[in-house]
Amino acid sequence: MAADGITGGDPLDQVDGQERVADAATAVTGRARWGIFLGVAATVIVVDQLSKAWLVANVSVGEVVSVIGDFVRLVQSQNSGALFGLFRDQAILFALVSVGVIGLIAVYHAKAGRSWYLSLALGLLLGGAIGNMIDRLRLGYVVDWVDIGLGGLRFWTFNIADSAISVAILMLVVAALFPAIAGGARGGAQGRTDA
């Protein structure tokens, strides 16, 4: 009798116990992924809004403040359009579109499996979308302030939210081209061996 207790009893109970442990580990991993996703988004939102508030308080609209010579400058710009200033004066429409995009990002994250990489990328995307949406709803335009270029050859003025969105899109393109990078969903099956 003691021998049966030492060996663990019924093999089906052992399998059921292993499945419960695996399910608990998956639940913890899922909560951690959501924590990263929401934590990254919150960080982007806070940094974006604080940087915009500082800029508005210290730099007048159209004023140019050199940071690294003529290459990097601070310029307060009020973008009432979309990316690169397209479709100007449609702030309410873009705010509504942003709400839909935010919902899609959350749904996609929920279906992204256990990929930490995708949680990071989608967190950046969510934070950037919310950061710019806050401006549109509160001000009717997005505050852009980073101006990079040489002389008359300059990139579009942007902000922290735009940077987060751009990095997220780049990460998602890389994941599409190299799926193994975002392969966290397949990671759970690896390393398990049947005895």
Structural domain boundaries enclosing 99: 12-186
162 tagged catalytic? yes
pTM of the model: 0.74
Condensed to tens digits (0 to 9), the pLDDT of residues 158-190 reads 999 999 999 999 999 999 999 998 874 444 333
Examine residue 88 and state whether it is found in any structural domain, yes or no: yes
Examine residue 20 and state whether it is found in any structural domain, yes or no: yes
Examine residue 5 and state whether it is found in any structural domain, yes or no: no
Distance (Å, whole) CA 182 – CA 165 = 18
Q: How many domains does the chain have?
A: 1
Contacts of 38 (CB under 8 A, 6+ apart): 123
Distance (Å, whole) CA 48 – CA 46 = 5
70 tagged catalytic? no
Kindly indicate the confidence band of residue 30, based on its pLDDT and cuts at 50, 70 and 90: confident
Amino acid (one-letter) located at 63? E
Examine residue 4 and state whether it is found in any structural domain, yes or no: no
Examine residue 89 and state whether it is found in any structural domain, yes or no: yes
Catalytic option among 48, 135, 147, 162: 162
Catalytic option among 48, 135, 144, 147: 144
| Contact between 124 and 40 (Cβ < 8 Å) | yes
